[in-house]
Amino acid sequence: MNFSAALPTFVITLREGFEAALVVGIVLACLNKAQQTQLYRWVIRGVSAGIIASVTIGFLLGGILQGINHSPSPYTPLIKEILAALFGLVAVIMLSWMLLWMTSQAKSMKSEVEGAITTALSQNEQAGKGVFLLVFIAVLREGFETVLFILAQFDQGWLATTIGAIAGLISASILGILLFRGGIKLNIRLFFKIMGIFLLLIVGGLLIGVLKHFDQAVTLFSLMTGKNRCLFQNSSCLLGPQIWDGSAILSDKQFPGILLKALFGYRQTLYLGQAIVYLLFLFTIGKIYFQNLSSQTPNPNTQKTVITSTR
């Protein structure tokens, strides 16, 4: 089994899971401060329901992919390439949006969650349902983004990606528990900054794969219909001429190339279109990401507030 395929899923799940753990921790702290600990059960129900819903969506979509994969239809290879490209594209869009949203909203996340809890508690009999809905949506949002990424990586092997997802979820849960109950000191801003850089590179690599799937889909469609739909001749159908061949220097089938491929989308063969889109992605999304980071003024009391508010 190729364990390197588990690494990007681990990073994604760790970051998404820890973000959800922060929301859950803030909710529990607010309930404790308001002396509404009887509503803890609604938090547990919300977390459980969010995880179950995410896993259910993953199994349903995964079942569809498996069904198509075993279909005897001559169009199966074409459909597989189209679905891989679409799932990958949606994952790129959602993960990029999440990365930028998190960096722009990080400072106000705690106050927004506290405001939502205050509103829920003011509804008396509906307070439990309000807490449940808040936690459920937070967990489901992070879970759905992780599911999309896993589906976009389905050609890397289900077992490896599943192991990476489980390991990331367990690690995120442990970090959340240690932060809110163990009293450890963790620079949350630095954690998300580092994980955000990893995520930026991982999503950029995923985008390279998405372009390749679109290219292969158009190539297959041209062969099946007998009509040439390619933009380029004597090169890649959509991506233009090949500009890199590292098969003899740094193969993506052997270490360390296979690790670079899993984490950052390295390919031993790279085409002009892939290079251009990859650099544009890093420049535009990366520029916005670092601008959002630079606009945030570190608050030395933020970490203390998060931890002591659970006491």
Query: Encoding tokens for residue 106?
Result: 């990080």
CA 104 vs. chain centroid, Å, equals 17
Question: pLDDT of 120-159, one tens digit each?
Answer: 777 766 788 888 988 998 899 888 888 888 887 766 666 7
Cα dihedral 234, 231, 276, 100 sign: negative
Distance (Å, whole) CA 295 – CA 232: 43
| Least confident interval from 40-44, 91-95, 197-201, 265-269 | 265-269
Question: pLDDT of 23-33, one tens digit each?
Answer: 888 888 888 88
Q: Residue 186: beta bridge partners?
A: none
Distance (Å, whole) CA 116 – CA 57: 27
**Over pLDDT 70: what percentage of the chain?**
87
Predicted TM-score of the model (pTM):
0.79
Distance (Å, whole) CA 151 – CA 38: 38
Write down the pLDDT at residue 297.
Answer: 54
Cis before 241? omega within 30: no
Query: Encoding tokens for residue 54?
Result: 């995410």
Write down the pLDDT at residue 49.
Answer: 94
Write down the pLDDT at residue 304.
Answer: 42
One-letter amino acid of 257: G
Mean pLDDT score across all residues of the chain: 81
Query: What is residue 186's three-state secondary structure?
Result: coil
Question: pLDDT of 215-227, one tens digit each?
Answer: 999 999 988 888 8
Question: pLDDT of 94-131, one tens digit each?
Answer: 889 888 877 776 666 667 777 877 777 777 667 888 88
Q: Kindly report the backbone phi and psi dihedral angles of residue 70, in degrees, each rounded to the nearest multiple of 5, phi listed first.
A: -100, 10
Give the start-to-end residue ranges of the domains of the chain: 3-294
Q: Kindly report the backbone phi and psi dihedral angles of residue 19, in degrees, each rounded to the nearest multiple of 5, phi listed first.
A: -65, -45
Query: Encoding tokens for residue 164?
Result: 């990476």
One-letter amino acid of 191: F
